[in-house]
Structure 1
Amino acid sequence: MILAPWNVDAWNSLGERRRRDALPHAILLAGPAGLGKREFADAFAHALLCESPRANGFACGICRACKLVVAGTHPDLVRVNFELRDDGKPRTELTVDQMRTLSERLALTAQFGGAQIALIDPADAMNHAASNALLKTLEEPTPGTIIVLIADHPSRLSATIRSRCQRIDFRVPETKLALQWLTAQGVDGRQATDAMNASDGNPGLALAWAQGESLKLRGAVAQDLRELNAGVAAAFDVAQRWSREEADLRLRFAASLVQQQGRAQAHGGAMLSAGGPLALTRAVDLVKLTAWFDRANRTRDLLRGPVRPELAMLELLAAWAVAAAPNHDVQQRST
């Protein structure tokens, strides 16, 4: 397995701890989706269970243990992911029953006589009861077990659980390195730059979006915001459309576009003279723009709960006209 180049240092650090027999009982892999946390976790678990790991710390790929890992049948590797509901759809949280089952499993002796590895993904989707159940396991670790928690939003984990884990942060790499990696994956030129802008520098997301239709969707979101600002589109119509398909991704793109628009205005120069990504050719109130950015992200969180998405979208988009109004327009309204 080949890791993303920006994750090599973290891999070498864990490898050194393994050589010193100083691996922690619990590890938290934290950072935005798209930076390779899950590939890292799989490679790490595979290497720990391998009977003849290579000098670089990776699994050999040919021993009995490696073959079982690849087949998904290794008895000492436990994966805790979203289960299916009775209607066949995946749950949106990890449950207390899953954590209790995990605790019982880890209390048993490893069948191959080595380590037992548990991968919990996404750990930040545990409900309160599940978190409490896992905490008991973390506070009373079974010898020879390693629990790896994978979280795109580590702040959603309880502070107590975070304090029980050795944390490894996955951060957005330097733009030059990310673009080199994208080029190696077959994405180059303007598309790579557009994808990096859309993903706020996250190369994994940039690759996925460049290979799919997401960049077109981002362009459509930008057009909707421009038309709302120009008064040629109705917030109600846009809200209905956004709430029906790819609601979360549309909101993510909207927030990102507004953030980039704010940067364009703050820095001035050619990007502002061209109107920025939203073609706002006149300066707007950056405080209001930032507030709308925050509101868009809060709306993303709201949509994970029992709310009517079209109403949440409508409130957000109705506020866009005020947020995007030029400074002098805002002042005239207040007088």
Structure 2
Amino acid sequence: MSTLAPWQQRAYARMADAFAAGRLGHAQLICGPARLGKREVAVRMARRVLCEAASGDVACGACRSCRLFDAGTHPDYRFVSFIPNREGTKLRTEIVIDQMRELAAQLALTPQFGRAQVAVVDPADAINHAAANALLKTLEEPVPGRYLWLVSAHPMRLPATIRSRCQRIELRLPPADEAAAWLSAQGHAMADAAEALQAARGHPGLADDWLRAGGLSLRKAVAADLQRLWKGEAAPAEIAQQWAADEHADLRLRHAADLAVERAAGLTDPRHARSLAAWFDRANRSRDLLRTTVRADLVLVELLVAWRALRGGPEKRER
């Protein structure tokens, strides 16, 4: 089993200490930015709660419960996430009421091992309205020894009635030196880690993903494309077709929005800084549109035309 990152360990220790002291509530909201390892904290804590021979705050790894848990067949553990649609062609984008009803029925049963039952829902903010109402009934009628942990990168999307019934465990971005040390421990060169960490605004999980999957190289390509547009060396339609040609359009827009913020930070004219901030908002709205049936290339062309139009702003006159 992999070692928890320091920020994960802090969240895990809070839960483990509360459990040892009998203060761990039946409902937990484990939240924080995406890619900080919230799910791993929840799953590892579930393993600890169900362990039959735990030593301190760590599951033993050898008892019957741990072996079943590691095999994915523990009868007192449930993990709830996206399931296939009715046609079985793709995963749903919501967690639906039938899943919450099934979970409620499971938690109403006596644990087969007699210790506890644990359920993890991730991403909890994907629960739709009807499913949220069913979940609320479960939260309003807690049963001793039943634990329900909601994992979310967007906790404010959950109804207030659900949030108010959960203890909150929050994972936060670590200090820069801790993040850099962790990236180095993952095998990244210090210079690469520093560059990725700066681009990811201090987010080590995101920086690690970009370094492993080419996200940092993609960011540099996006910066070059925006610069070509800015100088009039490329047409918006040309760049839009390139950006829409693969599955990375969403990440390209994320990088583009961040790069607009970086450019705005170096300006002295507040009017153009505001224009870039408006383009940043527009880029993020375009990311939302990419998740719809609207043609990606048309969304991107419109956004990139707006970017090219900015070159006639005050920044050009400053130069």
TM-score w.r.t. the length of structure 1 is 0.88
Partner of 2:205: 204
In 1, Cα distance between equivalents of 2:311 and 2:262:
13
Query: Could you report, residue by residue, the CA deviation over 1:279-329 in whole angstroms, capped at 9, with x for unpaired residues?
Result: xxx997111111111221222223223333222222222211234544165
Matches within 5 A, 1:98-247: 98-245=99-246, 246-247=248-249
Q: Which moved more, 1:179-188 or 1:291-300?
A: 291-300
Is 1:25–1:141's contact at 8 Å kept on the other side of the alignment? Answer: yes
Is 1:200–1:256's contact at 8 Å kept on the other side of the alignment? Answer: no
**Structure 1 residues 215 and 18, CA gap change in structure 2 (3 angstroms):** same
Cα RMSD of the aligned pairs, angstroms, is 2.0
Is 1:76–1:115's contact at 8 Å kept on the other side of the alignment? Answer: yes
In 2, Cα distance between equivalents of 1:212 and 1:194:
15
Classify the secondary structure of the residue corresponding to 2:36: coil
Classify the secondary structure of the residue corresponding to 2:30: strand
Is 1:103–1:134's contact at 8 Å kept on the other side of the alignment? Answer: yes
Is 1:122–1:150's contact at 8 Å kept on the other side of the alignment? Answer: yes
Query: How many residues are paired up?
Result: 315
Indicate the percent of aligned positions where both proteins have the same amino acid: 50
Give the Å deviation of 1:82. Answer: 1.0
Query: Could you report, residue by residue, the CA deviation over 1:69-94 in whole angstroms, capped at 9, with x for unpaired residues?
Result: 10000000001011122243222111
* Counterpart code for 1:253: H
Matches within 5 A, 1:244-255: 244-245=245-246, 246-255=248-257
In 2, Cα distance between equivalents of 1:157 and 1:321:
38
In 1, Cα distance between equivalents of 2:121 and 2:308:
43
Q: Are 1:74 and 2:61 matched, yes or no?
A: no
Is 2:267–2:315's contact at 8 Å kept on the other side of the alignment? Answer: no
Gaps of 5+ in 2: none
**Structure 1 residues 27 and 156, CA gap change in structure 2 (3 angstroms):** same
Is 2:264–2:272's contact at 8 Å kept on the other side of the alignment? Answer: no
Q: Are 1:310 and 2:297 matched, yes or no?
A: yes
Partner of 2:61: 61
In 2, Cα distance between equivalents of 1:308 and 1:230:
27
In 2, Cα distance between equivalents of 1:200 and 1:7:
19
Report runs of 4+ in structure 1 exceeding 6 Å deviation.
none
Q: Which residue among 236, 260, 263 is the counterpart of 2:262? A: 260
Is 2:272–2:315's contact at 8 Å kept on the other side of the alignment? Answer: no
In 1, Cα distance between equivalents of 2:147 and 2:194:
39
In 1, Cα distance between equivalents of 2:146 and 2:310:
52
TM-score w.r.t. the length of structure 2 is 0.92
Q: Which residue among 262, 274, 297 is the counterpart of 2:284? A: 297
Partner of 1:271: none
**Structure 1 residues 294 and 95, CA gap change in structure 2 (3 angstroms):** same
